[in-house]
Amino acid sequence: MISRRKSLQTLASGFGAAMGSSLLPDFGQAASSAAGGPKRVIFFLQNQGFDPKTAIPSGMKNTGSLAGVKLPTPISALEPFKEKLHIINGLHGIHTSPSHSAFFGALGGYRGSDGVPPSASTIDYELSKVLPETLLPHLCIGMDSMENMKAKPTVANLSASGAGQPIFMHSNPNHLYQMLYGGISQGEIRKQHEAKSGMFDRIEELAAAKGGNLPSADKQRYGQYVDGFSDINGLREKLGSVSDHLKDFAPEVDSRYTNPEFETDWHDSLLDLGISALKSGITSVLTIGSGRGEIFGAWKGLGVEQQGHNLGHMPQPDNPIWVKIRQYNSRMLAKLIEELESVPEGSGTMMDNTLIVYTSNNADKQHTNGANWPVMLLGNCNGAFKSGQFTQLDGKRPINALYTTILKASGVNCERFNMSEQMAAKYDSGSGPLKEILA
C-alpha cells in the first residue's frame, strides 16, 4: 500500500491512462479488491440519537426478512431500496460514554467527549487507507444551522487520522467547491481559487524556511503544519491536472450556494458535492455529519423552527418534527443510492460496490448511556453483506465489532478495532466480525 503522501504525488500522472474507456479511474487494487469487498464507504451520522422505533417495522422483534413488511414513515423513502437495506439493533457503545455525543468516539469506538481530542484513528480514515487509492482518500462534510456553518466553516468532531489528529469537516459549500473544482471554474470562483492557491504556496514557502531553528519538539509540530499546507497545495495541483475529467462531474453553482434561503439549501449543496466527489473518483470515503457531531443543527427549510439542543429532548417516535428530519435523511440516502446506481462500474454499477452506514453520533437518543446503538446499512457490496433484513442482537457486542466487520469485508484481517483485550473482556462478548451481517 503506497503512502497517502506518495499517492498525491503520483496518482494524477496515471489518471488518464487508468481511466481507459471507463467513467471512473482505477488507481490500482488495494486490499478491498477481493470479490465482494466495498470500493467505497459512506458514513452518515445524524446527531441527537437514532431511536430504533423510527426504523424498525412495527411488530418486528426478532431477526427476519424485510420483504413482507412496510418500513416506518420516517424512513419510508427507502421502501424502493428495501432489498438493499439491513437494519441492525442491539449493538452498544457504553464504553464511549456518548451522552450528548460520543464525538470522535462514535467512529472510533472509544471514550469521547466535548473538547476531548481523539485517542486513535476512526474507522472512516482506516478504510481510506485500504480502499482503492484516490486523489482525496477521505472527504468529510458537516451540516448545521446557517449561523454555525458561516461562523465555523470547518470543524473537527467525528473523524481522526490518529491520536490527537482530528480531520476537519467542510460546512461551506462555496469553500468546498473552490477546493474541488476551482481550477476548472470561471469568473469569481476561478479568481478566488487562484488567489488562495498563491497564498497557500507562499505560506508553505515561508513556513518551511522559518522552522529550521526551532527546538526538536516544536520542529516536529511545525513540520506537521508545513506538511498540511504542502498536502493542500499538492491536492490543488493534482485536481487541476485532471480538469478535463472533473468537468463532467462538477455540480452547477446556483443560488443555493450564493444566496441560500435556508440552511437546508447548503445541506443539499454539500450532499451534491459529496456525490460528485464519489462519482468522479476523487474520494472513496465520504463522512456526513448532520449536526456536525454535536448537539446543534437546524432544519428550517423543512418547516422545523426548533433547533439545537432542544430537539434532543423531544421523543423521536411519532414526533412530527423528527419524522421530517428522518425523512429528509432518508431522501438523502435515496439520492446517494440513485446517483451511484446511475454510473456503470464493472459488470454493475457503483452502488453494487458501495456500503452506506447510517447511524448517530450518540446512539439511540440524547442523554444516552449507549446501551443500544442502532445502525442501518445500505448496499451488499456484491454479496459481501446480508441485505433486505432486520437483525436483532443481544446488546453484548460493541460498535467496534461493526467496524471490524467492515474492515474484514474490505480485506483487512483483524479481530478487534480500537479495543484492547482488557477492554474487550468487559465490553465485548465475542471477537472478530459480526457473522450475523456478513453473507
> Residue 2 has which C-alpha cell?
503506497
Q: What is the pLDDT of residue 5?
A: 36
Residues 6+ apart with CB under 8 A from 151: none
Residues facing residue 160 across a β-bridge: 166
Domain map (residue ranges) of the chain: 30-179+266-427
CA distance 23 to 349: 11
Q: What is the pLDDT of residue 182?
A: 80
Whole-structure pTM value: 0.86
Q: What is the pLDDT of residue 330?
A: 98
Q: What is the pLDDT of residue 29?
A: 35
CA distance 104 to 2: 26
- Listed as own residue / partner, the contacts of 8-12 with beta carbons closer than 8 Å and 24 or more positions apart are 8/135, 8/231, 8/234, 8/235, 8/238, 9/234, 11/133, 11/134, 11/135, 11/238, 12/135, 12/237, 12/238, 12/239, 12/241, 12/242
Q: What is the pLDDT of residue 9?
A: 34
User: What dihedral angle (degrees, nearest 10) is formed by the CA atoms of 119, 121, 124, 125?
Assistant: 150
Instruction: Print pLDDT tens along the chain (439 aa).
Output: 334 333 333 333 333 323 332 333 343 333 344 457 899 999 999 999 999 999 999 999 999 999 999 999 999 999 999 999 999 999 999 999 998 999 999 999 999 999 999 999 999 999 999 999 898 889 999 999 999 999 999 999 999 999 999 999 999 999 999 888 886 655 555 555 444 555 445 544 555 555 555 556 555 555 554 454 455 556 767 777 777 888 889 999 999 999 999 999 999 999 999 999 999 999 999 999 999 999 999 999 999 999 988 999 999 999 999 999 999 999 999 999 999 999 999 999 999 999 999 999 999 999 999 999 999 999 999 999 999 999 999 999 999 999 999 999 999 999 999 999 999 999 999 999 999 999 9
From 375, 372, 382, 370, select the one nearest 356 (Cα to Cα): 375
Q: Where are the alpha helices (DSSP H) in 242-319?
A: 243-246, 255-258, 263-280
Q: What is the pLDDT of residue 246?
A: 87
CA distance 155 to 408: 30
Q: What is the pLDDT of residue 221?
A: 53
CA distance 157 to 142: 10
Residues facing residue 165 across a β-bridge: 162
Residues facing residue 288 across a β-bridge: 44, 141
What's the alpha-carbon Rg for the chain, to the nearest Å? Answer: 21
| CATH domain 30-179+266-427 topology | Alkaline Phosphatase, subunit A (3.40.720)
